[in-house]
Structure 1
Amino acid sequence: MTEASWLPGTLLSRLDETTRREFLQLGIPRTAAASSVLLQEGVQESHVILLSDGLTKVTAAMTDGRHALLDVRVSGDLVGEISALNGTPRSATVTTCRTSTIRIIHRNDFRAFLRSHPDAAMAIAGIVADRLRLANRRRVDFASYPVKVRLARVLWEISTAYGYRDRDGIVVDIHLTQSELATMCGAAEITLQKAMRELRASGIVGTGYRQVLVRDPAALQHCADVD
């Protein structure tokens, strides 16, 4: 994958060319099939995984048995860095959404790289800060907006970051269950289903097997109340 392919905000997009090239030499390359669990919540392990060319979802178990969708990680992203840095068990499960190529990097090699490349350490600190800011914003959204608007904001966020355009709109081919979307929106699943039906009836989105189609991006942006 070329430099231009790394999405803004990913770790590899934040590194200079020399540091990025060196980081891409770390670890052992592997191929993971779709729906493979790369990291399992609660497991005590400390390696990190670089997504060389991949698409994954990050989920966490809830006390009621459901799984909350926390985020999506794409090519150029790193997963598992928290356990590698502080030695705690995995805080979430990371599952591939399609066949992905990855690099498995041992904790000692990862930490040594950060010690010798402080710019990479600062980039990772910036990513952690951005994720904290996003989590805080979502908490504000839960308190400030009705479910339909919260759903529109989540769909807008995911489609603009990870979707691709075709003749019918923006396609998001990440397999997200309605239960996962509901937890990401802070809503009951039945309420989420009603909000999704309203967006479909308005012609704003369409849904199919393992994907969401944003038919009218401008209308979705308006519904999401974002600039």
Structure 2
Amino acid sequence: MDPQIVMQAPLFAALDQETADRLISSMSPHSLPRGERLFREGDQGDSLYVITAGKVKLGRASTDGRESLMSVLGPGEMFGELSLFDPGPRLSSAVAVSDTSLIGLDNDRLRRFLDDHPAVAMQMLAGLARRLRRTNQGMSDLVFTDVPGRVAKALLDLAARFGRVQSDGVRVEHDLTQEELAQLVGASREIVNKALADFAGRGWLALGAKSVTLLDPDRLRRRAR
């Protein structure tokens, strides 16, 4: 576990190192192979989780079985904290996109901790607000932005969070299947693949297996508007 990655989570942002170390030592480690589900939509929420390695997707399913991918989270990001502020069933399912390691903290222990460190609650609410803002932006994009624009915006978001700068561009190991990428932008796999092929043909990106290299991010930004 990389302490610097863990300290990026809102749960630890207001803590000194000694307090953070004590909290981390009280949390439970979890390991998920790719494809394993941590919890299902509708399960009773009783813990929050911080990703220490790998990626987790949060998604919802419709009554006819179709899936919508709400977000993809990586190291240093936190999820499941909504159950602390609004106890009830989980609003999404959490599934490992790649081999993933997490640390979890149950709500009872977290509440006791927040009683002694109230500033942490404000940091957690700020993290929730950022995720809500991203969700609202995604809903707006579904109404006002065409599919190629949504694809460009999704790739830029993934690059900002998971990208590595290389000599030829920004390489993004997103670990998503074609179907998962289509769910992320709210479109069919065929239309998303057509947009990706068009971007590749224009020299804006290079496609790989569950990865993409952004060769011309500026063009993608203009297309995402």
Q: Name the TM-score, length of structure 1 as normaliser.
A: 0.85
Alignment of 1:68-217 (within 5 A): 68-217=68-217
| Structure 1 residue 55 displacement after superposition | 2.1
Contact 2:11/2:124 (CA < 8 Å) preserved in 1?
no
Say yes or no: does 1:60 pair with 2:57: no
Secondary structure of 2:193 counterpart: helix
What do residues 77-101 of structure 1 show as CA deviations (whole Å, max 9, x unaligned)?
2222123443312211222233332
- Find the aligned partners of 1:54 and 1:15 in 2 and give their Cα distance: 24
- Find the aligned partners of 2:111 and 2:15 in 1 and give their Cα distance: 18
Which amino acid in the other structure matches residue 132 of structure 2? Answer: L
- Find the aligned partners of 1:51 and 1:157 in 2 and give their Cα distance: 18
- Find the aligned partners of 2:106 and 2:11 in 1 and give their Cα distance: 18
Report the count of equivalent residues.
223
Change (3 A) 1:188 1:99: closer
| Structure 1 residue 148 displacement after superposition | 0.9
What residue number does 2:25 align with? 25
Which amino acid in the other structure matches residue 10 of structure 2? Answer: L
What do residues 43-75 of structure 1 show as CA deviations (whole Å, max 9, x unaligned)?
224122222333222222134422211112222
Contact 1:151/1:185 (CA < 8 Å) preserved in 2?
yes
Between 1:71-80 and 1:153-162, the stretch displaced more is 71-80
Secondary structure of 1:14 counterpart: coil
Contact 1:38/1:93 (CA < 8 Å) preserved in 2?
yes
- Find the aligned partners of 1:100 and 1:141 in 2 and give their Cα distance: 30
Say yes or no: does 1:16 pair with 2:15: yes
What do residues 162-188 of structure 1 show as CA deviations (whole Å, max 9, x unaligned)?
222234322222222333333332333
Which amino acid in the other structure matches residue 100 of structure 1? Answer: T
